[in-house]
Each structure stands twice: as structure tokens, then as C-alpha cells.
């Protein structure tokens, strides 16, 4: 069976107004995340798939992210198979942080990647 290469982008290439879909777990999200990102943990993904399709309803592209790119690659592949526009963010939140992209927390403590 032949699979198309997974669409991916570097963290530095994600547009400031891009829809970031963060599939990390709650503790990872709480430590630091992209402001305005949609948080749907991979463990809840199937149950919350409607939320994701709603966010992408206007043809928006999802920039899927986890810590390093493994979980997000699986979710990206699933979204693409469903006919949605999704790309994996290479290197995940570690690459995002390494590229100096902004991160936030709800608690106000300095954001970091867990």
C-alpha cells in the first residue's frame, strides 16, 4: 500500500493567525501553549472530532501540534484521510519554543514545554 507523504511545516512557518490544534494532554497544555490554539487531547480526539470539524468548517487549515510531532502526525494523517486540510508541525512545541514563538499559560506563570 502506498501512502502519500504527511504534509508538514516548520514551527517558524505557522502563520500568526493560523489555527493551531494542540493534541497534548491537559498537564502539557497547562505548562504552556500557543495563544488561541484549539486544545483537543489525542485521548479525547474521536469523542471531540465534531469540535475540530466545526473549527475547520470554513476551509481553514489545521496546524497540528504535540510535544515533538509523533501524536500530531497520527492526528494529521487522520484529518487528511477525512478530507480536511491539516499539516503536522515538525518538532511540535519543542520546535515552537526553540523558534522563539510566543507561548502562554492560564495561570500566568512563565510558559514552558512539559
Phi and psi at 91, nearest 5°, equal 80, -5
Q: Which residues pair with 64 in a beta bridge?
A: 21, 88
* Residue 60 DSSP class: P
Q: Which residues pair with 86 in a beta bridge?
A: 62
Catalytic sites, residue numbers: 66
User: In b/e form, how buried is each residue of 57-83, taking b as 16+ CB within 10 angstroms?
Assistant: eeeebbbbbbbbbebbbbbbbbbbeee
The pLDDT profile of the chain, 114 residues, written as one tens digit per residue, is 455 678 999 999 999 999 999 999 999 999 999 999 999 999 999 999 999 999 998 889 999 999 999 999 999 999 999 999 999 999 999 999 999 999 999 999 999 999
Residue 99 pLDDT:
96
Amino acid at each position: 500500500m502506498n501512502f502519500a507523504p504527511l504534509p508538514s511545516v516548520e514551527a517558524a512557518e505557522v502563520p500568526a493567525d493560523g489555527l493551531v490544534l494542540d493534541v497534548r494532554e491537559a498537564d502539557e497544555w497547562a505548562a504552556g501553549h500557543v495563544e488561541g490554539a484549539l486544545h483537543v487531547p489525542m485521548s479525547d480526539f474521536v469523542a471531540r472530532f465534531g469540535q475540530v470539524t466545526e473549527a475547520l468548517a470554513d476551509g481553514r487549515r489545521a496546524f497540528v501540534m504535540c510535544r515533538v510531532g509523533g501524536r500530531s502526525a497520527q492526528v494529521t494523517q487522520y484529518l487528511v484521510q477525512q478530507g480536511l486540510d491539516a499539516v503536522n508541525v515538525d518538532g511540535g512545541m519543542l520546535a515552537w519554543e526553540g523558534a522563539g514563538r510566543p507561548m502562554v499559560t492560564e495561570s500566568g506563570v512563565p510558559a514552558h514545554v512539559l
